């Protein structure tokens, strides 16, 4: 089981290669876009949009927002976002390890344990330094 996870599953349920599987997924993307285009065409054929003044003003609770609203948004969660990057990288190593874990047994647990403990200490350190709050 663990060995075949790295490559394509030649004995897959559909009996097709990995390339075919991804081609099918790509086909699904195209079909979704086509479906939405069909909806757009149907909706336009039912009724056209009337041009009327002030109809296209975005909702702003009765007051016009400054235009454009694409100003610099203060991402107050940037402390979390930086930690997120570290953990995200770590998870990329975690998946291959998870697949072969039962084959390797205790050795794998110790090796990944050290790795995770360092990361977890990093999380605790960030917490102690005030990274885990709204900046």
Residues 92-121 touching other proteins, rule: CB under 8 A, are 94-95, 98-103, 105-106, 108-109, 112-113, 116, 120
Minimum gap (Å) between residue 57 Cβ and other proteins: 6
Q: Which residue has the tokens 């702003």?
A: 60
Any residues with CB less than 8 A from the CB of 64 and at least 6 apart, and which?
57
CB-CB neighbours of 91 under 10 Å: 9
Binds other proteins by CB under 8 A, chosen from 46, 128, 129, 130: 46
For residue 89, state whether it binds other proteins (rule: CB under 8 A): no
Q: What is the dihedral of CA 87, 92, 93, 97, to 10 degrees?
A: 120
Binds other proteins by CB under 8 A, chosen from 19, 42, 129, 130: 42
For residue 19, state whether it binds other proteins (rule: CB under 8 A): no
For residue 72, state whether it binds other proteins (rule: CB under 8 A): no
Total residues interacting with other proteins, rule: CB under 8 A: 73
94 vs 1, 2, 4, 44, 105, CA distance in Å? 18, 15, 17, 49, 15
Minimum gap (Å) between residue 62 Cβ and other proteins: 11
């Amino acid at each position: 089981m663990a060995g075949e996870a790295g490559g394509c599953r030649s004995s897959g349920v559909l009996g097709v290669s990995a390339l075919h599987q991804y081609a099918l997924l790509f086909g699904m993307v195209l079909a979704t876009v086509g479906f939405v285009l069909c909806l757009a065409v149907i909706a336009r054929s039912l009724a056209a949009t009337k041009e009327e003044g002030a109809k296209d003003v975005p909702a702003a609770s009765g007051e016009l927002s400054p235009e454009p609203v694409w100003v610099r948004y203060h991402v107050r969660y940037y402390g979390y976002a930086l930690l997120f990057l570290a953990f995200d990288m770590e998870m990329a190593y975690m998946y291959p390890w998870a697949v072969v874990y039962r084959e390797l047994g205790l050795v794998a647990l110790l090796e990944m344990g050290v790795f995770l403990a360092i990361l977890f200490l990093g999380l605790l350190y960030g917490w102690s330094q005030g990274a885990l709050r709204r900046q």
